[in-house]
């Protein structure tokens, strides 16, 4: 099933998305990776209903040049704090171990195709920045998305995690 | 040979590698899409091919992780260099960064402070070969962290099956390496030789030996698929480079490269430089 959604997201918006669905997202997204997650309390934006994009963009002046996802696995340890700030959607790649239980009833994880920074950049424009002293890749960029996608609902808010299913099936295959 | 030619050639190949993938890489992805049966995997492969077209038409980097500046440098035996080659290549990297074609990625490993220009002690990383002829060949291989972080090395027991070791580790790690990937394997030698061979394997084109093709089939049989979300396409190619090793050891190193297998080459001579 395909969905077009707009941030900020409500609990209902998130609940409608099921693992395997395709999503195109418009509205505000906030980039955050390792350093920003260590300093979440200092981010000046209101993240309630918000979208966090695991991304360290390449930006020239104030233009987004390339902006695909970074590996979410490094950021899994911060997920409880991120959800406590009211974030409803995380965009990344590769999934987050242990996320399915934390996201249940609260938020959803979308997979943007890794490495597709050129295509993503066409859908994103810069609105603002927080923690610019962290540098281009690590700052929190406030970006306006227009039909960012296609993204796959990889971990939904009902407990389904496609990465886990694929990994378990691969492990079973190895034991055969 | 003139230093400014080396600087310009370095900047040019590094920028070109970011924007345009080699034709054989694109064809491997297109062929994978033809064979792929999983719907989500097809979505991803189509998005990847679309992204490659956009990068080329907009002249923007394929991926925002414009990588570490890694170069293979082939120095002809009759090539005369009266300047510091590493420093000239570093200047080319700084120029490419200044043009906004590279994200500043290079940091001190402990303080994590970013130099801002993609150079620092030990970076750029040069892999040097001495060859015949009178020219200098510079190939840029920008290396992203997603696939580099998922690479691995094991000092196996000679009785271990290296292919089982590789498959088991790939099953755990490859979904974070932006699959479909290229798998570069270094087998044998010493601890450090195995890692260097794995890097060289990634710099080559996929191999077609029986062992390489069988391993490719077994990796794709895992069903991990593009971006780890399931499918028939987990790897696009495997290459194994080997060195003889001690009778008591079996070093195995695996260097992963995401589908964005970026590279570009220039040749520098006494008369100037050109992209190959």
β A51-53/A89-92 pair status = parallel
Q: Among residues 20-59 of chain B, which lie with CB inside 8 Å of chain A?
A: 40, 43-44, 47-48, 50-51, 54-55, 58
* Catalytic residue set of A: 37
> Phi, psi (5° rounding) for residue A137?
-75, -30
The answer to whether the CB atoms of A117 and B228 lie below 8 A apart is no
Identify the pLDDT of residue A176: 76
Q: How far is B140 from chain A (nearest CA, A)?
A: 18
Nearest residue on chain B to A35, judged by CA atoms?
Answer: B112
Taking a contact as any Cβ pair under 8 Å apart, which residues of chain A between 156 and 175 contact chain B?
Answer: 162-163, 165-167, 169-171, 173-174
Helix (H) or strand (E) segment spanning residue B72: strand B70-76
- The total of other beta-carbon atoms located within 10 Å of residue B162's CB is 20
H/E element holding A12?
A: helix A11-15
In chain B, what residues touch A67 (CB-CB under 8 Å)? Answer: 64
Residue A157 is predicted with a pLDDT of 98
What would the two tokens of residue B136 be?
A: 């200098």
Contacts of A152 in chain B (CB under 8 A): 40, 43-44, 227, 229
Chain A (112-151) residues lying within 8 Å, Cβ to Cβ, of chain B: 113-122, 135-137, 150
Residues of A within 8 A of B114 (CB-CB) are 135
Q: Which of B64, B181, B221 to mutate to test the interface with A (most CBs of A within 10 A)?
A: B64
Q: List phi, psi (to 5°) of A142.
A: -90, 115
Query: Which residues in chain A come in under a pLDDT of 70?
Result: none
Prior bond of B124 cis (ω within 30°): yes
The token duo for A154 is 């990889």
Chain B nearest C-alpha distance from A9 (Å): 24
Q: Say yes or no: A57 contacts chain B, CB-CB below 8 A.
A: yes
State residue A175's pLDDT score.
Answer: 85
Residues B64, A67: C-beta atoms closer than 8 Å: yes
pLDDT tens, residue order, chain B (276 aa): 999 999 999 999 999 999 999 999 999 999 999 999 999 999 999 999 999 999 999 999 999 999 999 999 999 999 999 999 999 999 999 999 999 999 999 999 999 999 999 999 999 999 999 999 999 999 999 999 999 999 999 999 999 999 999 999 999 999 999 999 999 999 999 999 999 999 999 999 999 999 999 999 999 999 999 999 999 999 999 999 999 999 999 999 999 999 999 999 999 999 999 999
Is residue A18 within 8 Å of A153, Cβ to Cβ?
A: yes
Residue contact B168–A65, C-beta within 8 A = no
DSSP letter assigned to residue A161: B
- Interchain proximity A170–B224, CB inside 8 Å: yes
Q: In this predicted structure, what is the pLDDT of residue A41?
A: 92
Residue B175 in 3-state DSSP?
A: helix
**pTM greater than 0.90 (yes/no):** yes
- A122 contacts in B (CB within 8 Å)? 54, 58
Residues 217-246, chain B, touching A (beta carbon < 8 A): 221-230
């Amino acid at each position: 099933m395909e969905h077009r959604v707009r941030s900020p997201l409500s609990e209902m918006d998130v609940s409608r998305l099921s693992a395997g669905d395709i999503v195109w997202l418009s509205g505000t997204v906030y980039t955050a990776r390792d350093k920003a997650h260590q300093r979440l309390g200092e981010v000046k934006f209101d993240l309630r209903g918000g979208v966090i994009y695991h991304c360290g963009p390449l930006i020239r002046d104030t233009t987004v040049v390339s902006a695909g996802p970074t590996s979410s696995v490094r950021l899994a340890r911060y997920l409880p704090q991120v959800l406590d700030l009211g974030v409803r959607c995380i965009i990344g790649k590769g999934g987050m171990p242990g996320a399915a239980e934390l996201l249940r009833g609260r938020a959803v994880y979308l997979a943007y195709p890794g490495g597709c920074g050129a295509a993503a950049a066409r859908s994103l424009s810069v609105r603002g920045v927080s923690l610019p002293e962290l540098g281009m890749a690590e700052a929190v960029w406030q970006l306006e998305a227009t039909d960012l996608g296609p993204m796959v609902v990889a971990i939904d808010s009902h407990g389904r995690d496609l990465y886990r299913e694929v990994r378990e099936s691969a492990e079973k295959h190895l034991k055969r | 040979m003139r230093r400014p030619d080396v600087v310009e050639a370095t900047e040019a190949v590094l920028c070109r590698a970011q924007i345009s993938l080699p034709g054989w890489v694109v064809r491997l992805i297109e062929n994978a899409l033809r064979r792929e049966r999983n719907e989500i995997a097809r979505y991803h492969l189509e998005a990847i091919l679309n992204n490659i077209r956009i990068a080329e038409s907009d002249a923007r980097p394929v991926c925002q992780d414009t990588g570490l500046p890694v170069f293979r440098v082939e120095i002809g035996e009759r090539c005369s260099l009266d300047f510091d080659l590493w420093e000239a290549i570093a200047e080319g990297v700084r120029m490419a960064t200044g043009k906004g074609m590279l994200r500043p990625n290079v940091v001190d490993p402990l303080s994590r402070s970013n130099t801002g220009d993609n150079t620092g002690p030990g970076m750029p990383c040069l892999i040097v070969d001495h060859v015949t002829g009178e020219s200098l060949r510079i190939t840029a291989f920008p290396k992203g962290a997603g696939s580099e972080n998922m690479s691995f090395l094991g000092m196996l027991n000679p009785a271990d099956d290296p292919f089982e070791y590789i498959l088991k580790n790939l099953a755990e790690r490859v979904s974070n390496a932006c699959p479909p990937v290229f798998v570069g394997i270094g087998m044998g030698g010493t601890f450090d030789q195995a890692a260097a061979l794995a890097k060289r394997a990634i710099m080559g084109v996929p191999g077609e030996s029986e062992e390489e093709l069988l391993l490719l089939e077994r990796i794709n049989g895992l069903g991990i698929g593009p971006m780890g979300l399931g499918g028939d396409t987990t790897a696009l190619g495997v290459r194994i480079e080997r060195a003889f090793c001690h009778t008591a050891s079996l070093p195995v190193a695996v260097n992963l490269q995401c589908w964005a297998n970026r590279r570009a080459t220039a040749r520098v001579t006494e008369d100037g430089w050109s992209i190959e």
